[in-house]
């Protein structure tokens, strides 16, 4: 699985997934999925923090840029030095974003076992309208379903085929 897919799963709310309606063995596999995704996501965050640090992006610079942007948004004039700072900061941010995109193309290995399609459907139904933050989301629908096919759940097999 690519790192960008881990980020998509986290953004979909997978860390809020529950598996109360599955048998214990299958529920444990769902728990293990969450644990593996969380571990991979932490590693991605650490990698992104290192990229920021290696490219000179600090919390102070981000705060200074935000203050300048706030001044601009309320119509306050900014100095030439502040303008230059923003130009350089924006260029640095574009470079860092490019490095993030490149890093997120890499594969990450997850130690997972698949669950049968029938159990996948039960898990999907249980997680269809979960509260994640202030939103109700379908955690395992859409792109999450596509990402996890063959990695966490197996397609049904027709008898005799």
pLDDT per residue rounded down to tens, the chain (161 residues): 999 999 999 999 999 999 999 999 999 999 999 999 999 999 999 999 999 999 999 999 999 999 999 999 999 999 999 999 999 999 999 999 999 999 999 999 999 999 999 999 999 999 998 888 888 999 999 999 999 999 999 988 877 55
- Whether 30 is covered by a domain: the verdict is yes
Q: What is the pLDDT of residue 123?
A: 97
- Whether 161 is covered by a domain: the verdict is no
Cβ-Cβ contacts under 8 Å for 92 (sequence gap 6 or more)? 55, 56, 57
- Whether 87 is covered by a domain: the verdict is no
- Whether 160 is covered by a domain: the verdict is no
- Whether 100 is covered by a domain: the verdict is no
Distance, in Å, from the CA atom of 127 to the CA atom of 152, rounded to the nearest integer, reads 15
Q: Are strands 135-137 and 130-132 parallel, antiparallel or unpaired?
A: antiparallel
Count of beta carbons in the 10 Å neighbourhood of residue 80: 7
- Whether 76 is covered by a domain: the verdict is no
b/e sequence 108-135, b meaning 16+ C-beta within 10 Å:
bebebebbeeebbebbbebbeebebeee
Q: What is the pLDDT of residue 131?
A: 85
- Whether 67 is covered by a domain: the verdict is no
Cβ-Cβ contacts under 8 Å for 61 (sequence gap 6 or more)? 89
Q: What is the pLDDT of residue 160?
A: 57
Q: Which domain holds residue 32?
A: 3-57+106-148
- Whether 123 is covered by a domain: the verdict is yes
Tally of domains within the chain:
1
Q: Give the predicted TM-score (pTM) of the model.
A: 0.85
């Amino acid at each position: 699985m690519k790192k960008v897919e881990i980020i998509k799963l986290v953004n979909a709310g997978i860390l809020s997934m529950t598996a109360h309606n599955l048998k214990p063995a299958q529920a444990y596999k769902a728990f293990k999925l969450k644990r593996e995704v969380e571990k991979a996501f932490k590693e991605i965050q650490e990698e992104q923090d290192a990229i920021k640090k290696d490219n000179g992006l600090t919390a102070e610079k981000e705060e200074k840029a935000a203050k300048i942007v706030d001044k601009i948004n309320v119509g306050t004039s900014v100095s030439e030095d502040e303008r230059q700072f923003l130009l350089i900061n924006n260029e640095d941010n574009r470079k860092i974003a490019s490095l993030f995109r490149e890093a997120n193309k890499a594969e990450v290995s997850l130690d997972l076992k698949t669950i049968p399609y029938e159990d996948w459907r039960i898990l999907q139904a249980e997680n269809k309208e979960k509260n994640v933050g202030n939103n109700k989301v379908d955690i395992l629908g859409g792109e999450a379903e596509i990402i996890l096919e063959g990695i966490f759940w197996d397609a049904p097999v027709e008898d005799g085929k």
